[in-house]
A and B are shown apart, each in its own frame.
Chain A
């Protein structure tokens, strides 16, 4: 890795290419074995799909079904990262070849395909899954067959596995800094918690409630409600919100329900420039569906926004748009998915081996300075140290960065005092 933390993968590629070009005249003088990558027998002792020139990895997301709209960005980011890594020489001298499987938004299918990637294809690593349910379905498969999964989504925590690297934020990382910020800058005292009815929003709201009631002085939760996935009738809760007048609406509504929720909020006359709304579930991808005019003024708390102003991110956004078209937007999870292949490459090179056990053992303290979100590092608990940021939604569907934590936030998947 280059020392300059701002240099993106694109810069690195260029630098490696230049160095390679400079070394060319010398190449003829060296015996062949010195130039060749380390012997396959040495870097792969457990029968993974690694040859002298290639290493096979898996991509496992839903490209059909209801989750396809969310997971497509992750697939694109992973393919981009793999292409960039191959352009700069691959991993331990081997080009990455990927096998893509479709989880079809169906958890058992995820488990079936995960097993296929590990047992049949002997993938050295798998980048995939999105929903918690799909991760829970594949987790026993990865543990039983000893595979390596890089999981990109922000999620509820309460999990830690030797066989998974969580490149998104766990709940406390994403929630606490945002609540502190809204409490301090907006002087917020009353919170109305909303969520879709499944484990991530429920666990996140549980953490939010504990933090509000225990650690923020004089603050309280004035309502908490859940809606089935795909729910589109929010009028009754919007009326309750109008009656209770909370300082903050804290919304963890996912997927298509978002569109109905924000449109109905606007129709009910709740003006997001006056009413503070903080969400942890709306990224640029969701705004694409909601429409910037319906959500402008809302605040989102996560670790990445497409608008982040740093050299890594500019190079990443440009490369992403070049590969997938100008109209694509990049949300938090897409960026986290992009980290997966890079972190895996860094870990494999640190371990000097593709063996799953060695990669798992070498993972703690692996850094990636070229991350679009800025510097990240793997914690011994296999989650990432990362900054938390608050952005304000704008009419054009982008976020304007309002606040970021000064330091990296430590991941804490089993938070004491929040259970």
Chain B
């Protein structure tokens, strides 16, 4: 799609608006109407990964920085939220049977007798909300500064992010008295007294999550359309030329990397709220690479494609594993290979080459009434 040839409404082109409307129709209307609360909660969980996938579209697709460690930021965001919820769940009366009541259960099992200092601020909800975004973003800023100022990039950067993901996992597992170890932080119950485990709460959280997702999508479109977005693309395609034009390339890279980290962190926090626990299995290398796969399947240049990619891969994962508990990994592997071989640009590529032209023809025939025809890439059940 060439943004210059289609009419604009605000900062979005018409076809982009149609795309967002279609996605909104799917997520806010169709899925909640057709799925029971159990499946809807699963979709909510998948959509938290979509935050990471969208972050990767910005960072990898537009900025050209392939991070294989987005799980770090997803995990940090999730852990910040989990610490707040765990403190609330560990009131003195809930933890009477422990040797030290009032601290999280796993601390008691590991012979801690007082709450560690870095846990204390997480008793405050406003602090937690700030920390959810700020801790991962700061961390990404530090990594980014250390790497991009020294002009480390490409494969080396990918490997380093992967190493950091591995280090963080080992740290979390090793310091189990402070972090819950490999079990993670489990048994989260209430948010300010509001029971997040009920079906009603799950329903509300789903829509909060969806609203945040569309906020993030809007923000990304804004960044992409701005001068900043164009510099990112220029930098990806000819880094030196941008540098010689007088731009500080490293700052732009640090920005987009930290931006992607902040998005992942929002996803992580929403994940903790909807699933009810956080564990190191979301921080490590495997989940980080899986998140890159979501983006690749969706099409790494498409913000909306990332959401469809995430939904498709996770639906496939759940469906295959429910039907063929012993063979499902093969099916999933086959799906990845098929998508990458047959459609290198992912789902978004299918949409652009097969559906968009037809839609355009259809629009020109019917005038300007945008009819919500579903793209075939929609992985609805």
Q: Interface on A for B, CB 8 Å cutoff?
A: 63-64, 100-102, 104, 106-109, 111-113, 115-116, 119-120, 132-133, 136-137, 139-140, 144, 156, 158, 197-199, 202-203, 206, 228-229, 414, 419
Contacts and interface: CB of A to CB of B under 8 A. Distances in A.
Contacts, number: 91
Contacts of A113: 321
A198 B182 contact: yes
30 contacts: A64-B326, A64-B328, A64-B329, A100-B325, A101-B325, A102-B325, A106-B281, A107-B184, A107-B277, A108-B275, A108-B282, A111-B276, A112-B42, A112-B45, A113-B321, A120-B38, A136-B186, A137-B183, A137-B279, A139-B187, A140-B186, A140-B197, A197-B173, A197-B176, A197-B181, A199-B106, A199-B182, A202-B110, A206-B111, A229-B182
A328 B23 CA distance: 51
Interface in B166-224: 170, 173-174, 176, 181-184, 186-189, 197
B341 interface: no
A419 B105 CA distance: 13
Interface residues of B, number: 36
- Interface SS of chain B: helix, strand, loop or mixed? helix
Contacts of B187: 136, 139-140
A137 to B, nearest CB: 6
Given A228-B174, A229-B182, A133 B42 contact: no
A100 B186 CA distance: 24
Max chain B C-beta neighbours (<10 A), residue from A132, A133, A197, A419: A133
B322 interface: yes
Contacts of B183: 107, 132-133, 136-137, 198-199
A137 B325 contact: no
Contacts of A158: 109
A94 B332 CA distance: 36
B130 interface: no
Given A144-B197, A198-B173, A133 B321 contact: no
5 A-B pairs with the lowest CB-CB distances in the bound complex, closest first: A102-B325, A133-B183, A136-B183, A119-B38, A136-B186
Contact of B322 (A101, A132, A228): A101
B97 interface: yes
Interface of B: 36, 38, 42, 45, 97, 99, 106, 109-111, 170, 173-174, 176, 181-184, 186-189, 197, 275-277, 279, 281-282, 318, 321-322, 325-326, 328-329
Contacts of A202: 110, 176
Given A111-B275, A137-B279, A228 B181 contact: no
Nearest to A157: B109
Contacts of A199: 106, 109, 176, 181-183
B321 A104 contact: yes
B186 A228 contact: no
A107 B173 contact: no
A405 B72 CA distance: 49
Contacts of A156: 109
Contacts of A106: 281
Given A116-B38, A133-B183, A136-B186, A102 B279 contact: no
Nearest to B197: A144
A116 B323 CA distance: 13
Contacts of B282: 108
A108 B174 contact: no
A111 B322 contact: no
B321 A101 contact: yes
